[in-house]
Amino acid sequence: MPYVNVGQENSGSIDLYYEDHGNGKPVVLIHGWPLSGRSWEKQIPALLDAGHRVITYDRRGFGDSSKPTFGYDYDTFVEDLRHLLIKLNLNEVTLVGFSMGGGEVARYLGKYGSNLVKKAVFVAAIPPFLLNTPDNPSGVDGSVFDGIKAGIAADRLAFLTGFFSNFYNTDVLGGTRISEEAVRLSWNIAAGASPKGTIDCVSAWLTDFRKDLAGIDIPVLVIHGDSDRILPVGATGKRIHELVSGSRLAIIEGGPHGLNWTHAEKVNQELLGFLEQK
């Protein structure tokens, strides 16, 4: 399996698993928490059929990547992403970030600029800033995130069951737009993640991406479901659109957080249309 080395912990190397398929203009798909590159199952065939080179990778601590006990912050995550882009000699790439992966897109552009990046897509993404502060009164109180960490620490596997119910809105969409087996697949992937990485990432969710977004100088598409219970569109997708000059906002009616599975056709239509634009 292909890996890129991004560091060392004691006697072991820290390696990220990636997949690199197809030819054409490169698209890098960055997964959400607590999943892996496998979560793009509904997008990869459509992108390949449209003539794109498609790269997925597993964030440190998740999927088939190494599971170190440190580095679960966005500055480290984008250093990892930078290693991958350089190893594969990618340029004029489109970065597509889902949920937590949207933070990598924002912070990468804020830290490294757009010299290698042609376009960016935020799908059900976490920016711009979730935490309630004096200058962000619409944010969420910090105690909520403390409760999430406590729930993960008490019984991570039980926590994941409840999380994915709201991730896919299974009470509404189960059996129609998503099967029990597909939800189980997400649970299985998440269960195999690093327990420490799973809980440490919650702190990373509180990163402030507002300055990163304001400086973006490339075309941006924002895709978000209007029924997202994990990251409601009013606090995330709409605000990304407001902060990124010239961006396009595509709201998917009835879309839950995991809309890249439940509403894959609409997501793919928006994504491919954006990629085709000059």
Identify whether 228 is a catalytic site residue: yes
Q: What CATH number does the domain containing 202 carry?
A: 3.40.50.1820
Active-site residue (options: 36, 39, 66, 99): 99
Query: What ranges in 39-125 are assigned the alpha helix state H?
Result: 44-49, 74-87, 101-112
**What is the average pLDDT across 111-139?**
97
Give Cα 156 distance to the centre of its chain.
Answer: 20
Residue 231 has a pLDDT of: 97
Helices 180-191, 142-167: inter-axial angle, 10-degree rounding: 140
For 220-237, how does the pLDDT look when each residue is reduced to its tens digit (9 = 90+)?
Answer: 999 999 999 999 999 999
* Measured distance CA(138)–CA(234) in Å, rounded: 10
Cβ(3)–Cβ(72) below 8 Å? no
User: In the annotation, is 99 catalytic?
Assistant: yes
Residue from 80, 228, 241, 247 carrying the catalytic annotation: 228
- Separation of CA 91 from chain center: 20
148-187 pLDDT tens trace: 999 999 999 999 999 999 999 999 999 999 999 999 999 9
Q: What is the pLDDT of residue 17?
A: 98
Domain around 180: 3-276
Q: Is the model's pLDDT at 20 over the cut of 90? A: yes
Which one of 31, 52, 241, 257 is the catalytic residue? 257
**DSSP letter string, 143-172:** HHHHHHHHHHHHHHHHHHHHHHHHHTTHHH
Looking at the structure of the chain, the number of domains it has is 1
Per-residue pLDDT, 1 = 79
233-254: per-residue pLDDT in tens? 999 999 999 999 999 999 999 9
